[in-house]
Amino acid sequence: MHIAIIMDGNGRWATQRGAPRTFGHRAGIQTVRRIVEAAPGLGVSTLSLFAFSADNWRRPPEEVSALMGLLGAYIGSETERLITKGVRVSFIGRRDRLPAKLLSQIARLEAATAGGAALQVRIALDYSSRAAILQAALALVPERATLDGFARTISAPADHAPDVDLLIRTGGEKRLSDFLLWESAYAELWFTDTMWPDFEPQDLADAINDFSQRDRRFGGLARVA
């Protein structure tokens, strides 16, 4: 099962507590650990997490810098744990605008976890789905002009994953925000008011249970009991 999550609500969660927005992002990092560790036991094979969109560069420079630093700290503290848990991590999105130090950390993490087989985690960083689709369209050669060929061109071979089965958004908003638009063509959607720092493995289990009861027809007819 491929689950995609738009991790929303960190800043608002912190503001509600009278704390800086970066406090919420730090709490959100802890949620990432909990969800990554719980996912395989819930039948999840691929987990795509929206960490930073191409539009997020519009945020105050100090917040962007803090986010990049937090991601680097997460990589430094979690690499060995991810290897032990059999988690393979890859990043999707642009890399040419990321800090050089973070790029090196990302490369080391991807190499160190390449053998993980328990769970594939894809982190969307400086990511825009529309930009990825445009890039794929420009790169596609005629002999690969098929739906599957196009899907594989959108991301690098190492990052390619099945279509999204269930897309979750925390924080109360009900939109896709330019996340995995092509891959989510037939995804089931699940929205919750719970802010990302408060999102627990039980919330993930509840979403998956709700998903399991839906009738996914993919354009066909309803199932007959």
Catalytic residue among 56, 159, 163, 198: 56
Catalytic residue among 8, 126, 165, 178: 8
**Distances 35 to 39, 58, 99, 137 between C-alpha atoms, Å:** 6, 28, 27, 34
Longest dimension (CA), the chain: 56
Backbone angles phi, psi at 122, to 5 degrees: -110, 120
Kindly tell me the burial class for residue 125, based on how many C-beta atoms sit within 10 Å of its own C-beta (0-12, 13-18, 19 or more): buried
Active site (annotated) includes residue 56: yes
Q: Cβ distance 170 to 9 under 8 Å?
A: yes
Instruction: Please report the DSSP string for 139-203 in residue order.
Output: H--GGG-SHHHHHHHHS-GGG--PPPSEEEE-TT----TTSSTTTTTT-EEEE-SS-GGG--HHH
For the chain, what is the total number of helices (H) and then of strands (E)? 7, 6
Residue located via tokens 């990049």: 68
Residue located via tokens 């039948």: 43
Active site (annotated) includes residue 163: no
Which residues form the catalytic set? 8, 56
